[in-house]
Amino acid sequence: GDSVTQMEGPVTLSEEAFLTINCTYTATGYPSLFWYVQYPGEGLQLLLKATKADDKGSNKGFEATYRKETTSFHLEKGSVQVSDSAVYFCALNVNQAGTALIFGKGTTLSVSS
Amino acid sequence: DGGITQSPKYLFRKEGQNVTLSCEQNLNHDAMYWYRQDPGQGLRLIYYSQIVNDFQKGDIAEGYSVSREKKESFPLTVTSAQKNPTAFYLCASSTTQGTNEKLFFGSGTQLSVL
């Protein structure tokens, strides 16, 4: 079935370090791909998305490129801040009626000053 | 402001008791969802609804029930049949089902067993 696999956390970085969180997917058809972020005690917020191969989603310094050949959607940021500490979820939507978003297990990022 | 409101923020359940989690949205969205979040397991879909008076089971529907009598409301009942209900519950909505539209999430309800 359709699924999303994220790298295990937690990821611990110093401020201004480079961030990569790996995400790969298995899906039939041509899914849309998403990154959501969850701050402590809150719901999820959409961070960025890409709807077709080679699209790059970007927001708040974060980027991810839809790579169909490697079925990946890795999240990157060039210089993390303490305020980026949160849980990050990769997700896909197979764009078929009667389906909902499928989420990865989440990766916890902790950034220290 | 438009958004999704979940209540209560914290809820405690006694053995054998049914409890209901509220979810209301004023975004005029057709589709609504309930997810369960456990540490290290990500989000798992419980139920979803594409339209009023209709809903479908997700991956872990056993021990839960829902209703969708109004477009803006999608309450979730955790029944006594759910033997491990302690989790963080998230409600979400979107404009349409099965597209690349994003989900809007509420701030969640933490359910614990006394």
Residue numbers of B between 15 and 74 with CB closer than 8 Å to A: 33, 35, 40-43, 45, 48, 50, 56, 58
Q: What is the pLDDT of residue A56?
A: 97
- Assigned token pair, B83: 């033997």
B59-111 confidence digits (pLDDT tens): 999 999 999 999 999 999 999 999 899 999 999 998 875 566 788 999 999 99
d(CA B65, CA A49): 31
Tell me the nearest-neighbour CA distance from A24 into chain B, angstroms.
15
Task: Report residue A1's pLDDT band, with 50, 70 and 90 as the boundaries.
Answer: confident
C-alpha dihedral sign at B74, B79, B83, B87 = positive
- Rounded CA-CA distance A31/A58 in Å is 18
How high is the pLDDT of residue A97?
A: 55
A29-41: pLDDT as tens digits: 788 999 999 998 8
What is the dihedral angle through the alpha carbons of B83, B106, B75, B61, rounded to the nearest 10 degrees? -40
For residue A96, the model assigns a pLDDT of: 62
Q: What mean pLDDT do residues B38-59 have?
A: 91
Contact criterion met (CB < 8 Å) for A98 and B106: no
Choose from B100, B107, B109 for mutation: most chain A CBs within 10 A: B100
Interface residue of A28, A39, A93 to substitute, partner B, most B CBs within 10 Å:
A93
pLDDT for B42: 86
How many contacts does A have with B, using Cβ atoms within 8 A?
63
Q: How many CB atoms lie within 10 A of CB B52?
A: 15
SS3 string of B47-96?
EEEEECCEEEECCCCCCEEECCCECCECCEEECCCCCCCCEEEEEEEECC
